[in-house]
Amino acid sequence: MNEIAEGIVQAIQLIVSLDEEVIEITARSLLISLSATLIASLIAIPIGGFIHFKEFGGKRGLITIIQTLYALPTVLAGLLVFLFLSRSGPFGFFGLMFTPTGMVIGQTVLIIPLMVGMTLIALSGVSRTKQDTVISLGATGFQTVTTLVKEARFAILGGIILGFGRAISEVGAAMIIGGNIRGYTRVLTTAIALETSMGNLSLSIALGIILLAIAMVVTGFLFLVQER
Amino acid sequence: MIEFDHVVMNFGEKHVLKEVSFTIRDGEIFTFIGPSGSGKTTILRLIDMLERSTAGGILIDGTDVTTLRDREKIAVRRKMSMVFQKPAPLRGSVFDNIAVGLRFRNVDEQEITARVSEALDLIGLSGYERRKAGTLSGGEMQRVAIARAVATKPDVLLLDEPTANLDPVSTEKIERLISALKERFGITVVLSTHDMVQGQRLADRIAVVIDGRIGQVGTSMEIFYHPMNRAVAHMVGVENILEGRIVANEEGLATVEIDGSLILAVSPLPPGTPVTLFMRPEDIIFIAKDSIRTSARNVFAGRITKVIPIGPMVRLKVDAGIRVTAVITRRSFEELGLALGKETEFTFKATAIHVVERFE
């Protein structure tokens, strides 16, 4: 009990004193996960739009697969990307293993299904009349998709933030692809895992508090935008 | 010109339209009247190519749109606009909402500003540009939806039950707007409604839609006073539908026998013809007890079996051998001393009866 209390006190000291390592790990985490979220959004929202508006065979099955992949274990996403990026893999020559770029790819792969699914849910929440109105006003297919994505923007934003939450909180892919190299690929989650195993509880708690704080800031931001 | 040629529409097992054919002429207000679920909305959606018909041809200005590719459909659709029963505000201001169709057509912003202000002026909501569309009342949003539809200057305006959810004041505004659109811009207006009186007020021609079929197409006079069959008559409020047989005909004045009662009606049909008689409830006139008996034909005596007040009017059912339903003003009802169970006399003109041959 004493240990925990001590850990929390030390953690607050680390944060307040803007400890260099803590800041560096936090900044890297944010950069990697925000990049992954941005790239995944650019891929997932158009795919979601396409699946929603186009009728094709196997659509129901595809949606089921996407929904299954919401729960894609992070270590599996890591393993998958590892197989492609490792020296013997097809994209091994890029030398992306154990780099932040490799981690971005891993997290992107991890959250795309979730974000496609959230886009689908968001678009199906737009009333049929709205869709008909847009089409009847002479929109092309592309104009219909962009207009309705704008109509569903809050719900889609919710999906983006959910994706970001999954990216920044995952540890499996970051560990497998990044390798937790100090000063290069170490992020909040991998650092917490390591420091805890080494008994360095105060640093772990400090990083944990920061991770929670990020989650709070992001959720608060979403709340503010939706309130507007 | 819009033509339906034996159009069939099935949603799975459900047959929504059964071989529907009609022609809508340029510049007219054409109204589909029918009960909910009769297929009116589907007809409008098919015209706007929002649905794909199961069979039959849909010609718009001579082009069969059922065979067009998506890109060609958009080109045809851009000559039309549709307003839905419950209009959906899109995000942003009233200005953004009215501008949306113009932006799809890449009209330049200066022209858009002019057209939006023109459209707002037309619907009587000038100065509403910056309001949030989501905050408008139902009637205002319906008018904005019409402005949004006409800002693109369509040749054809499709209106699906435009006043179904509105109060009487908003309804009147929308109706005046629809008439103005036709008169000022020569727009062809295709309207669906379940309100017969609205159809009568607005339409050049009416099509009665019953259970996925067109029962009759004609002017409101034709539809309301000369319904072609029982279903149409029932739909347009002809409450007295009597079946009988012509027993004599003197120069177009036929005597029809109905369950032992004789009714005189105008008809060229020969004796022996089985017929259905249609008579509107407003055409029945009650005779005051002390009034001088005229030589009027079709005078009946009977007992009032039901009295239903409807606003300033009263609906009466009278059993006089033949059973009829009448509608009179509440004032007349009181002045004539009518009441439930009372004996009374009533009459109607031979010309108030529409006679249709009944095929047995």
Q: What is the pLDDT of residues A181-228, one digit of tens each?
A: 999 999 999 999 999 999 888 888 888 988 999 888 887 887 787 776
Would you call A226 an interface residue with chain B, using a CB distance cutoff of 8 Å? no
> What mean pLDDT value characterizes chain A?
91
Contacts B105 to A, Cβ<8 Å:
138
Would you call A151 an interface residue with chain B, using a CB distance cutoff of 8 Å? yes
| Banded pLDDT at A40 (limits 50, 70, 90) | very high
| Order of all β-strands in the sheet with B240-250 | B261-266, B253-258, B240-250, B274-279, B354-357
Specify whether the CB–CB gap between A132 and A67 falls below 8 A. no
Instruction: Just give the CATH number of B238-357.
Output: 2.40.50.100
Phi, psi angle pair for B258, to nearest 5°: -125, 110
Q: How far is B226 from chain A (nearest CA, A)?
A: 36
- In-domain check, residue A75: yes
State the burial class of residue A41 (Cβ atoms within 10 Å of its Cβ: 0-12, 13-18, 19+).
buried
Specify whether the CB–CB gap between B179 and B6 falls below 8 A. no
pLDDT of A83 > 80? The answer is yes
Nearest one of A114, A31, A112 to A71, comparing CA atoms: A114
Specify whether the CB–CB gap between B42 and B9 falls below 8 A. yes
Check if the interface score ipTM surpasses 0.85.
no
* Closest CB from B80, B88, B91 relative to A133: B88
Assign 3-state DSSP to chain A and report helix, strand, coil percentages, each to 5.
80, 0, 20
- How far, in Å, CA of A162 to CA of B99, rounded? 34
Tokens of B99: 């501008």
- State pTM to two decimals: 0.80
- In-domain check, residue A156: yes
The domain of A37 spans 19-185
Give DSSP secondary structure letters for B232-278: HHHHTT--EEEEEEEEEEETTEEEEEETTEEEEEE--PPTT-EEEEE
CB contact under 8 A, B81 and A141: no
Tokens of A96: 């992306």
- How far, in Å, CA of A53 to CA of A156, rounded? 16
Give DSSP secondary structure letters for B202-238: H-SEEEEEETTEEEEEE-HHHHHHS-SSHHHHHHTT-
Tokens of A214: 């990020």
Phi, psi angle pair for B177, to nearest 5°: -60, -45
**Pairing state between β B253-258 and B240-250:** antiparallel
Ramachandran quadrant class, B128 (left: phi over 0; alpha: psi -120 to 50; beta: rest): alpha
CATH class of the domain defined by B2-234: alpha beta
- In-domain check, residue A123: yes
Tokens of B36: 């909910």
Specify whether the CB–CB gap between B149 and B162 falls below 8 A. no
At B297 the pLDDT is 81
CB contact under 8 A, A127 and B88: yes
Nearest one of B335, B336, B299 to B320, comparing CA atoms: B299
- In-domain check, residue A32: yes
Q: Looking at the DSSP assignment, which residues form a beta bridge with residue B277?
A: B242, B355
| Order of all β-strands in the sheet with B55-60 | B14-24, B2-11, B55-60, B63-64
Q: How far is A119 from chain B (nearest CA, A)?
A: 18
Task: Report the domain count for chain A.
Answer: 1
Q: How far is B333 from chain A (nearest CA, A)?
A: 47
Nearest one of A37, A81, A69 to A177, comparing CA atoms: A81
- Each residue's pLDDT tens digit, B287-309: 877 666 655 688 999 999 999 99
* B280 three-class SS: coil
Contacts A141 to B, Cβ<8 Å:
70
Specify whether the CB–CB gap between B19 and B8 falls below 8 A. yes
pLDDT-above-90 percentage for chain A: 66
Segments of chain B scoring below 50 in pLDDT? none
For chain B, domain boundaries: 2-234, 238-357
CB contact under 8 A, B87 and A140: no
* B16 three-class SS: strand
A209, HSE (Cβ side, Cα atoms, 13 Å): 17
Interface residue of A136, A145, A150, A153 to substitute, partner B, most B CBs within 10 Å: A136
- In-domain check, residue A223: no
Contacts B158 to A, Cβ<8 Å:
136
Integer Rg of chain B from CA = 25
Q: Which residue matches tokens 């032992």?
A: B260
What single DSSP character describes residue B68?
-
- How far, in Å, CA of B175 to CA of B139, rounded? 12
In this structure, chain A runs to a length of: 228
What sign for the dihedral angle of Cα B65, B88, B24, B155?
A: negative
- In-domain check, residue A195: no
- Each residue's pLDDT tens digit, A104-154: 999 999 999 999 999 999 999 999 999 999 999 999 989 999 999 999 988
Q: How far is B218 from chain A (nearest CA, A)?
A: 28
Nearest one of B352, B289, B341 to B318, comparing CA atoms: B341
Number of C-beta neighbours around residue A42 at 10 A: 10
pLDDT of A13 > 90? The answer is no
* A197 three-class SS: helix
Helices (H), chain B: 40-47, 70-77, 94-104, 109-122, 138-150, 168-185, 196-202, 220-225, 230-235, 330-335
Q: How far is A33 from chain B (nearest CA, A)?
A: 30
At A12 the pLDDT is 86
Nearest one of B221, B229, B173, B228 to B199, comparing CA atoms: B221
Tokens of A186: 């170490």
Q: How many helices (H) and strands (E) does chain B have?
A: 10, 20
- How far, in Å, CA of B40 to CA of B82, rounded? 14
At B290 the pLDDT is 67
CB contact under 8 A, A140 and B91: no
- How far, in Å, CA of B148 to CA of B81, rounded? 9
Tokens of B21: 């054919």
CB contact under 8 A, A138 and B105: yes
At A49, which CATH number? 1.10.3720.10
- How far, in Å, CA of B156 to CA of B79, rounded? 7
Specify whether the CB–CB gap between A98 and A185 falls below 8 A. yes
Number of C-beta neighbours around residue B62 at 10 A: 7
Nearest one of A110, A133, A43 to B160, comparing CA atoms: A133
pLDDT of A166 > 90? The answer is yes
